[in-house]
Structure formats: structure tokens, C-alpha cells
């Protein structure tokens, strides 16, 4: 019968065996680390070794990394904001283009449709601008076209007070050799002009010409606004009798005449001293004459007496500008007898150092002038010793030179006549 070995003996052997193994902290730590990292990669060790190779303290490296991360975040944020703004603009544009026509009357929806430029000849009749009564008569033996401007009605109000200061300008295309203007009527939408103007034109030229009558709103210190216009193709007119009829004004064409700019100046005449003072104040929106899109403008002030050049002065040159400011004064000795026969020519020029100076535009004032030029001259004579300032639109130099060759003297008294 076999017997089991004593249990105490075997336990004692085990304790003695365990006790005989030296256990230290380093052994336990190594065993633990090897056990923990047995299932991981060597990434952290690689990063540590890479950071150790950089000759900078750890705090500096972390600061640089944080700064780079911040810059990246800002860039991403800016891109997101830009994309959102662009998306909002596109959405707004689509909403603006989508016009809901439901519930609108047919007469209203027609104004919401913007026609193509090629589909519009001279404006839209849906925007009432008023009506003009005119007359036409042609004399073949005299080769003379007489245009009568009778009256206007229901003109569009251009001023804040609900009125306008209308006058009519007319010319023939395509030559446009002469331009006429009626007198200005103050604060009315129903002016009665009753003025007649004559054009010298042959029958062959008449059949190829177009008569343009434009109604303007007069403004003394700003550019005159176009209320509306009429364009009459003269080849379709029956010249066997005098024509007199009403027509609706349309929007003025914006593509016909090149804009030469505007000039502002004041006039002052002292009859007791025989002194005429012209102050050139400023110009605006002058025509671009130089390749760089600018000009070097200056102004010539010239007096023409009995169709002959008499006296001349000029301002300084303003470099590279289309809106020059001069504020330069010129005084001429002109007697009262001469003031009735003299013409004041204001011309704007582009200065060139190498080539010849080019004329940008001209206007002339005097007793032979018409429209706004005549009114400005009459205001000066009616208000002696008082400077009268006004804006004028420049005209082509050839047109003014051609008009100056004609003489139609109008004696203007100092007072007692309305212009």
C-alpha cells in the first residue's frame, strides 16, 4: 500500500525555490514593459527619436507645431467662408432673376421683361415722357427745311418739385452740321414754344436724313437731363403739304453721340468799365484723348468780333485728368457797342508735347448763339456787375466752327425780355 508524500514538505520546497530567485524593481519593470508593449507598434519610439534629432528644445518644437496647425485652421476657415459667401451670392442672383408672374396683370408684367439692346431702337413707350407738337415744311426752290416746335404736353417731371425746365434741341443726321435750341421755360410740364428753325438741305440729302428733336430739362449747375426725343425719317414724309402733328416722346438713344464732356464757367460784364470777365471754373467727364485713358486739358477763351478773331487767352494745363479744376479768371475790355457783336468761344484742348494739340470740344456764346448759350449770355447782360455761372455741354469743334460762319444778330436789351 503506497503512501502520499507529506504536503508540508512539497510546499516547503516550493517556497524555498521561489525565495532563491532574486527579485528586483528593474526586473519587474522590464518584465511589465515587455508585456505591455508586446502587442503595440514602434511609432512612439520613432517620433521620440525624430524629435531628439531636431536641435531645438521640446517646448519650441511644440510651439512651432501649434502655430502651423493654427495657420492651417485659419486657411481652412477662410476658404469655407468664401465658399459660403459665393454660394449665397449665386442663390441671391437666382432669386432675383426668378420673377413670379402669378397674380400680375398683363400690362404690368410687360415692364418686368428687360429686352435685349438689339431689340430696343430708341427707348420704351411704356415709360411716359410726354408729347411734342411739331410742324415740317420743305421748299424745293430754296432747298430749305423749316421745322416748327409748337408745344409740349404732359412732360415727365425731372425736378424734385414735380416740374421741369424744358427746352428742345434739334439737329439732322447723319451730318449734324447745325444744332438749334429753343428757349427754356421754367417750372412747367406744358411749355408753348412756337419757334421755327431752318435747315439748308438739298432734296437728295433730305431723303437720306433723320430729324432728331430732343426735349431737355435745364439745370444751371449740373448736366442737363434728357426727358425724351423724337426721330423722324424724312424719306417717308409727304412734302406736298405742311405737316403738323403730335407724337409721343421716347427714351433718347445712348449710342449716337460721343460724349465730349462739360465745362463750367462764369460771365460778368460791367458796362460802365467796359470789362468782360470770364472765370473758367472746372470741367468734368472730358473725352479721353491719350492712350492711357486720360487727357492733359486746358481751355482757350477767345473773342470773335464781326467774324474775325479778336482776343485770346488760355488757362494752364492740367496733367492726366478728365475732371480738371481751373478757377482761372480772364478780363477783356469790350465796349457796350462791341458786346452786341462779339462772340465768346470757349474751347477745351488736349495738350501734346510732341504732336499738335487736339480739340476736345467747343461752345460759343453771344447774340448769335441759341438755347442755353444765348440764355447764359442774356443773363449776364441782364445782371450787370454780377457773375453768372453755368454748366455747358461741349460740342464738336467742326460743328461750332461751321455755325460761327453764319450771322443772325439778335439785339438783347439789359432788361424787359424773358428768355
138 and 232 belong to one structural domain = yes
Looking at residue 49, its pLDDT comes to 77
296 and 337 belong to one structural domain = yes
Looking at residue 24, its pLDDT comes to 45
Taking the C-alpha atoms of residue 95 and residue 105, their distance in angstroms, rounded to an integer, is 21
Does residue 418 form part of some domain? no
Which residues fall within 8 angstroms of residue 172, CB to CB, at 6 or more apart?
Answer: 145, 178, 199, 201, 209, 210, 211, 212
Say yes or no to pLDDT of 228 above 80.
Answer: yes
344 and 224 belong to one structural domain = no
Mean per-residue pLDDT for 165-178? 85
What is the band of 256 on the pLDDT scale with cuts at 50, 70, 90?
low
Looking at residue 277, its pLDDT comes to 96
pLDDT digits (tens, 9 = 90+) for 112-125: 333 333 333 334 44
Does residue 215 form part of some domain? yes
244 and 266 belong to one structural domain = no
3-state secondary structure of 201: coil
Does residue 153 form part of some domain? yes
220 and 161 belong to one structural domain = yes
Check: CB of residue 326 under 8 Å from CB of residue 359.
Answer: no
Say yes or no to pLDDT of 11 above 60.
Answer: no
The per-residue pLDDT of the chain, averaged, comes to: 78
CATH number of the structural domain spanning residue 226: 2.60.40.150
Say yes or no to pLDDT of 373 above 80.
Answer: yes
Look at 94-98, 144-148, 290-294 and tell me which has the smallest mean pLDDT: 94-98
Does residue 216 form part of some domain? yes
Q: How many domains does the chain have?
A: 2
Check: CB of residue 404 under 8 Å from CB of residue 304.
Answer: yes
Show the CA angle centred on residue 380, arms to residues 376 and 385, nearest 5°. Answer: 155
**If we measure between CA atoms, which residue out of 314, 321, 313, 316 comes closest to residue 296?**
321
Look at 59-73, 143-157, 266-280 and tell me which has the smallest mean pLDDT: 59-73
Which residues fall within 8 angstroms of residue 247, CB to CB, at 6 or more apart?
Answer: 131, 132, 134, 230
Say yes or no to pLDDT of 196 above 90.
Answer: yes
Q: Which domain holds residue 175?
A: 131-248
Looking at residue 247, its pLDDT comes to 93
pLDDT digits (tens, 9 = 90+) for 261-317: 899 999 999 999 999 999 999 999 898 888 777 899 999 999 999 888 899 999 999
Looking at residue 4, its pLDDT comes to 46
Looking at residue 16, its pLDDT comes to 54
Amino acid at each position: 500500500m503506497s503512501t502520499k508524500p507529506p504536503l508540508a514538505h512539497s510546499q516547503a520546497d516550493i517556497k524555498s525555490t521561489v525565495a532563491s530567485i532574486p527579485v528586483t524593481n528593474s526586473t519587474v519593470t522590464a518584465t511589465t514593459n515587455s508585456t505591455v508593449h508586446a502587442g503595440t507598434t514602434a511609432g512612439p519610439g520613432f517620433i521620440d527619436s525624430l524629435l531628439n534629432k531636431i536641435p531645438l528644445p521640446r517646448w519650441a518644437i511644440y510651439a512651432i507645431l501649434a502655430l502651423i496647425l493654427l495657420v492651417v485652421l485659419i486657411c481652412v476657415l477662410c476658404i469655407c467662408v468664401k465658399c459660403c459667401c459665393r454660394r449665397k451670392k449665386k442663390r441671391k442672383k437666382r432669386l432675383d432673376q426668378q420673377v413670379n408672374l402669378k397674380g400680375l396683370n398683363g400690362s404690368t408684367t410687360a415692364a418686368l421683361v428687360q429686352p435685349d439692346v438689339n431689340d430696343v431702337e430708341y427707348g420704351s413707350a411704356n415709360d411716359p415722357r410726354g408729347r411734342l407738337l411739331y410742324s415740317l415744311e420743305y421748299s424745293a426752290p430754296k432747298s430749305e427745311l423749316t421745322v416748327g416746335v409748337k408745344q409740349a404736353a404732359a412732360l415727365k417731371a425731372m425736378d424734385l418739385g414735380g416740374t421741369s425746365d424744358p427746352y428742345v434741341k434739334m439737329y439732322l443726321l447723319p451730318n449734324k452740321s447745325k444744332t438749334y435750341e429753343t428757349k427754356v421755360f421754367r417750372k412747367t410740364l406744358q411749355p408753348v414754344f412756337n419757334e421755327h428753325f431752318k435747315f439748308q438741305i438739298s432734296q437728295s440729302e433730305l431723303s437720306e436724313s433723320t430729324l432728331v428733336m430732343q426735349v431737355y430739362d435745364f439745370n444751371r449747375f449740373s448736366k442737363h437731363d434728357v426727358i425724351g426725343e423724337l426721330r423722324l425719317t424724312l424719306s417717308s414724309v409727304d412734302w406736298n403739304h405742311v405737316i403738323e402733328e403730335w407724337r409721343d416722346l421716347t427714351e433718347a438713344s445712348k449710342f449716337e453721340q460721343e460724349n465730349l464732356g462739360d465745362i463750367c464757367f462764369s460771365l460778368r460784364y460791367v458796362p460802365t468799365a467796359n470789362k468782360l470777365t470770364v472765370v473758367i471754373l472746372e470741367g468734368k467727364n472730358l473725352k479721353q484723348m491719350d492712350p492711357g485713358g486720360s487727357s492733359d486739358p486746358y481751355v482757350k477763351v477767345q473773342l470773335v468780333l464781326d467774324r474775325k478773331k479778336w482776343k485770346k487767352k488760355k488757362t494752364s494745363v492740367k496733367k492726366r485728368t478728365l475732371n480738371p479744376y481751373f478757377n482761372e479768371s480772364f478780363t477783356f475790355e469790350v465796349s457796350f457797342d462791341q458786346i452786341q457783336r462779339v462772340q465768346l468761344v470757349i474751347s477745351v484742348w488736349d495738350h501734346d508735347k510732341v504732336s499738335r494739340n487736339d480739340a476736345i470740344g467747343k461752345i460759343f456764346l453771344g447774340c448769335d448763339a441759341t438755347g442755353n448759350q444765348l440764355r447764359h449770355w442774356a443773363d449776364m447782360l441782364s445782371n450787370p456787375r454780377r457773375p453768372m455761372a453755368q454748366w455747358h455741354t461741349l460740342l464738336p469743334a467742326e460743328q461750332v466752327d461751321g455755325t460761327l460762319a453764319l450771322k443772325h444778330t439778335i439785339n438783347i436789351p439789359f432788361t424787359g425780355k424773358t428768355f
